[in-house]
Structure 1
Amino acid sequence: MTSEGMAADQSTAQGRSSLMALAGKYLTFQLGGEEYGLEILKVREIIGMLDVTYVPQTAPFVRGVINLRGKVIPVIDLRRKFGLEHRDDDERTCTIVVEVQSGSGQRLLTGIVVDQVREVVNVRGEDIEPTPSFGSYMDTAYILGMAKVDSGVKILLDIDQVVGDSQLVLA
């Protein structure tokens, strides 16, 4: 076998190993007709929609802040963040409170608004595929992988990338 072939095999094995490390429990939710998953260890709680206080000079995907038992936390609308069509909130719309790590290493609570929470699923490593390449049309840095669950595919999100590196305030 050539050195190029061996390097390719080693790279494939490392890629498969990193996907296997993603195995575990995920909270799944619906957004714009698609299902997504978050590592359950990042989820702090799921709450109904609370009154949101608008904060001026924030990014368009930031709904504002909420008071959650005395803690003020930012709330991000994932529909807006992902460029999906607007949809009015209904009785299934809820906020998932997640703990993310900022670029500076600080742990932060943030609320993300989703259309509907579905279930907690156990995803096996062998059921996770790498994120397909979408060319320059789509930033896939926030996607951990694609999980084949039952007869569908769930997009596994890196919530630290989605929320932690967001520019919440306009310059």
Structure 2
Amino acid sequence: MAENDTVGTEVKLIIFKLGREEYGMDILRVQEIKRMMGITRVPSTPTFIKGVINLRGSVLPVIDLRTRLGLPENELTEAARIIVVLVNEGIVGFIVDEVVEVTTINTQDVEAAQTLSSGLSAEFISGIAKADSRLFIMLNPDVIVNVAQG
């Protein structure tokens, strides 16, 4: 792993939006960020699995994070992206409304996830990160994918 990306008690997060909320994920898990592209639907899959894409000869499943997290569906805009993420099962794409930034946080500024009143399943959340006056819901991509298969 790239030691320059995680130094001491700091971690770099990719910050993205789903609706008005900001979410984060460890940047070390991100392989690349792609503009929306043609997604081929796969019959008899759950609604949150939007289909598959061909990424340089590899077929990757694509999950709509909004739908997976139980958030209301939204029309995709020009800002929508597919974040290609390394998970235990291999590589998967997550559709997000917008990629905001990459930021560095101190691991001491991450609190354990509590059950959230919004109905967002706590099993998907690895913690809540605080940076200045902002809060980021940190997602666990392995759990999102494992539960998706279960």
Shorter-normalised TM range: 0.7 to 0.9
1:167 matches 2:149: yes
Q: TM-score, normalised by structure 1?
A: 0.77
- Residue 43 of structure 2 corresponds to residue 43 of structure 1: no
Deviations 1:40-65 (A, max 9, x none): 11100000001000100101101000
User: Following TM superposition, by how much is the alpha carbon of 1:152 offset from its aligned partner in structure 2, in angstroms?
Assistant: 1.3
Could you say what the CA RMSD is over the residues aligned between the two structures, in angstroms?
1.8
Matches within 5 A, 1:108-147: 108-134=90-116, 138-147=120-129
Which of 18, 21, 34 in structure 2 is aligned with 1:34?
21
What letter is aligned with 2:52?
Answer: V
Where does residue 3 of structure 2 map in the other structure? none
Q: What is the count of residue pairs matched by the alignment?
A: 142
List gaps (5 residues or longer) in structure 1: 1-20, 103-107
Partner SS, residue 141 of structure 1: helix
3-state SS of the aligned residue for 1:165?
helix
Larger helix share, 1 or 2: 1
Query: Which amino acid in 1 is paired with 2:85?
Result: V
Match of 1:57 in 2: 44
The CA deviation at 1:138 is: 5.0
**Looking at CA atoms only, which structure, 1 or 2, has the larger radius of gyration?**
1
TM-score scaled by length of structure 2: 0.88
Residue identity opposite 1:131 in structure 2: A
Give structure 1 regions of 4+ aligned residues with deviation exceeding 4 angstroms. Answer: none
CA shift for structure 1 position 145: 0.8
| Identical amino acids, percent of aligned pairs | 42
After TM superposition, list the pairs within 5 Å mapping 1:95-110 onto structure 2. 95-102=82-89, 108-110=90-92
Change (3 A) 1:30 1:71: same
